Each structure stands twice: as C-alpha cells, then as structure tokens.
Amino acid sequence: MCGIFACHCHPNVQKFKPTALKMGKAVRHRGPDWSGNWIANNTILVHERLSIVGVDSGAQPLVNDDQTVSLAVNGEIYNHRILRKSLKTPYNFKTHSDCEVIIPLYLEHDLDTPRHLDGMFSWVLHDKKQDRVIAARDPIGITSFYMGRSSTTPSAVYFASELKCLHPVCDNIISFPPGHVYDSKTDKLTRYFDPKWLVEPTNIPATPVDYKALRSTLENSVRKRLMAEVPYGVLLSGGLDSSLVASIAQRETLRMNELAKRRAQANGANGVNGYEPDGHASGHLVGIDDSNELATVQILPQLNSFSIGLPGAPDALAAQEVANFLGTKHHTFTFTIEDGLNALSDVIFHLESYDVTTIRASTPMFLLSRKIKALGIKMVLSGEGSDEIFGGYLYFHAAPNKAAFHQETIRRVQNLHLADCLRANKSTSAWGVEARVPFLDRAFLNVAMNIDPSEKMITKDRIEKYILRKAFDTSDEPDTKPYLPDKILWRQKEQFSDGVGYGWIDALKDNAELHVTDEMMKNPKPEWGNDTPDSKEAYWYRCMFDEHFPSYCASTVMRWTPTWSKQTDPSGRAISIHNQKYDEKK
C-alpha cells in the first residue's frame, strides 16, 4: 500500500504546501519507503510510497514528459503490461511501475480510464492544461480512499487514503464510493463499474454453477496477485478461504520455480533468469502478459504463511495443519488478551472505525501485520470477500429464498469497503504491509455473482459455500493432487474474531463492562444523534474513536449487522447454527 493526499484548486497552494506535506506524513505508515510531492497550477499531490513493483524507479507522483499530467496512485495494476502494449499512441515510460500506464490511458480514454484497469487502486490525476483533476477508486474499494471539502476553502476539493489526513483540513468528508470516478470539470462522481449483477439487484441470475470456471478464475486471480519484486506471503487462518488462497499460491510458486529451473537448465547455467544454487530469487516478477502468465519467471523462496491466535486457538491449529499439508514455511504467532487490549486505541486510530465486528477482527490482524513486517515481508495474500460473494456467514442459513439470498450478497459486496476490505487494508498498511485479495478479482466476481443463487443456498445437504468447496474437491480426479485436506475443505465457517480464540471476544465484553456504566448507556453523547451504541462494547469503541476523530467523521463508518436475525452481537458464535453444528460433532 501507499498513502496519498491531494488538494485541487486551493486558493494559495504554495502557502498550503507545508500543511499538505504534514497531511501526507500522517499516512507515512502506509508508504515508509519514500515521499514525493508535485505542484501544478493550484493543485498539489503528495505521495508516501511502499515499493513493491518498479522498486528502483517507481517514485511518485509520476509525471509525463512535458509535465502537463501528474499522478499519485495507491494500488497495483495487474494488467499494466497488456495495457502498455495496447496504447495507440507511443508513450515514453520513465519507470517500471505498474501505475505509470494510467497517464497514457488518460490521454487516450479520458474518464473511461478506470474501466481499463484490472487491479486495486485509488488515484488522483491532474491535467495542467485543463486545470482538471480526475480521481478514481477500484470497483470494490479494496484500497481506502476519502474525499473532503472545507468551508474555509469552498472552491477546493481534497482527497486522501485515510481520514486522519483529511479531518485537520476538512469539515465535510465522505468515503469515496468504489467503482466511481470524479471529474473536477463537472464536480461530479460517476459510476464506471456497472456489471448487471451490481446495478440490477432484482434481476436474479439463472446461470448454473460451472465448477471448472470457478476454479480456474480463482487460480488466475491468485496468479495475477503474485506480481511483486519483494518477499511475500499468505495470511492463513485455517478457514476455507485463506487456505484455498494459500494452496493456489503454493502451487503457483512451485510451478514457477520448476519452470525457471527448466529455463536455467536449457540455458546451461544456474545463474540465468534469477536462479541461484541456494534457491533464492536474484531478480523479480514484473507483471502479467497477454496469456495471463507472470512475465518474468524467477526462482522464488519458499512461500511463507502466517497465522495468529490466543494459545490453543481453533484457527491456529487448523492453519498449522494446512501449512503442513501444503509445505509452506509457516509462522504461528500468539498474542495475549492483554496484548490485544493494549492495542485497541491504536487499532481504532488506524481503522478509523468504531464497528464492533471490524475492531474485534482487526486487532489480531494488526498485531500479526507487525510481526510480518519484522520478518521483511511487504505483501501478503488474504481471503477477504468470499463470505460476501457466496453467503458464507452463518446467518445466511436463515435466508428465506434465493432472491433474498442474492440481494444480501450484493449488499455485502457493496459494503466491503466499509467492513472487511477496510480491515484488511488498514490493519496491514498500519505497518507498511500490502494485502491483496484474490476473491475480489473482477473476472472472478463476474463468474461467481452470476451463478443462480439457489446453488449457493445453505440446505440440509449443503454447508455454507458448498459450491466453492466443491470446485476445489478433487476426490473424483485421481490424477489431480488435492488442494486441501478434506477436514479443512469442508470445515464449518468460523469468523476470524472467533477463530483466534473465544476468550478474545469474551475479554472485550468484560472490559467494556469495566469502562462503561449503565448510566452512560442511558445517556449517549448528543452529537451521536441516532447512531447510538447498542452495547457497552460498542459504546467503549465509539468513545475511543471520538478521542481520535471529530464527530462528523462518523458518517464514514458503517456498523456490521446480520440480516434475518434478531441477535445484537455480530459474532458467529451468537448464531444458534454455530452451536448446533459444533454440538453435532461431539
């Protein structure tokens, strides 16, 4: 991840520059590798860089030859090599960065530029000739992005990766909507990501499930996300989603290593194409080519996998079993309840949310990310998005019909930028680590969200996410190595905040009781309006949020609530089907 801050049409941009640099510094944790800024007309772009692709030459903001177009990007463009080849007008690329291609794309496609991008991104581009700013966010909102205005500079518009560098200069802030592009010419946000499944939620798909397509598109998605020039790993909770991602990544790593060895042998020397006798990479992977293969194949170090939990946590035990099966270099970290409680205020500061579910799950992920960074890893693959796409949360058991099931999956996917994507992005970027999420690949979404939702529904004979499990079940393919052990492939859903150890949520509730009295619950703060906490735990988090952010920032926060359920606690354990299923195993 990187961090960006931008202001367009400031009345005195030179005077504002020191403040802009200070606002950029507020997100330096996202991009600790380098800082840059660019001023043109009355616009300033500030960039804090985490270098993963184009490490030696990708410093930002990026600028074209005649210095008329400047660009600040947070993200990864997986199809940048294909896009470079498709340009109608030759362009002088100054870097190997995957993001630089956005400039010539803009010169050719104007507002349609984000439609051509396959990746995760938030960016601000300034056209000096037109004194125009274009800003865009990826289709699902994997990268965090905000837009603000100030009553003291009404002509200006501000953009940033996080709230913390907007609220000191803005008094009106929104979460930049995913799949949209902003044009200062019209001062309007326009949707560019408009697949039928998203914009017509009442149109219920009728396409039968194609298990081969599900498998192959997810494999391609993971393959794209191995584009990196730095050490990477996988977050492995031991649940279905992260285990599948780890399995595919390990297969791809082994496949690429074998291919590189063959190429080296064909060239008659171990030193060709990055292969060295000790098995470490000397070169790098630079992108995806036309056949959806990594364009430069190198020998890669052993794939690292990471898990965290309280001692004896269900997820940590399952993760170790998966790692042993796959042969990854696994790192199991434990944390204490005190570690988690001590980190809460920092977690809320980085998350910029007071949602109970998000904070519960983010705290162990925040602690794990710090450990990962200490090991020199800068990029990890993660399993977010699957539960939203396939209705994997346990409350989906109560879906009344396939139309309601489908519409709830759409609602969940639409809100990911305020929930699990926000958690994954900000928990990792707090320590300068980038999280990539293969389940939210545009091509995979197109396949998965167009399946007849009756195929996804949970029945007596079908566990949650049945079709995803079935797609990777090789029991009737004798020549195919299993992706996962059966007990993992068919393991019941365990929400991350539960799976790290049941004592974690219990401790949070107990500590909330110590900090929040019954009297406080009866008298919420007036500035909270109708958004009043419904539990002492929620009240406690909201108070910590208020210590960091002014009240108007609360409009960017969404509280996670399950549908078809009267429960007030969002934990998977609070749903009766969880206990019922575990009782059946005893």
Enumerate the known binding-site residues for ATP. 235, 308, 382-383
- Contact in structure between 534 and 349 (CB atoms under 8 Å): no
Active site residue 7: no
Query: What's phi and psi for 216, nearest 5 deg?
Result: -65, -35
**Cα-Cα-Cα-Cα dihedral sign, residues 570, 576, 582, 583:** positive
CA–CA gap between residue 332 and residue 316 (Å, rounded): 7
Which residues fall in the annotated binding site for L-glutamine? 98
Burial tier of 88 (Cβ tally within 10 Å: 0-12, 13-18, 19+)? exposed
Catalytic pick among 2, 165, 421, 553: 2
Q: Name the token pair of 315.
A: 């997820």
125's tokens: 């581009």
What are φ and ψ of residue 206, in 5° steps? -125, 10
* Beta-bridge mates of residue 153: 150
Choose among 80, 85, 84: nearest CA to 99.
80
Alpha-carbon distance of 37 to 62, in angstroms, equals 10
Q: To 10 degrees, what angle do helices 536-548 and 356-374 make?
A: 60
Cα–Cα distance between 561 and 355 in angstroms, integer?
10
The SS3 of residue 381 is: strand
Q: How far apart are CA 175 and CA 416, in angstroms?
A: 12
The residues with which 47 forms a beta bridge, in sequence order, are 4, 36
Contacts with 128 (C-beta within 8 Å, 6 or more apart), sequence order:
40, 41, 67, 68, 69, 70
Which residue in 207, 242, 572 sits closest to 397, CA to CA?
Answer: 572
- The answer to whether 431 and 346 have CB atoms below 8 angstroms apart is no
Annotated binding site, which residues? 98, 235, 308, 382-383
**Catalytic machinery residues:** 2
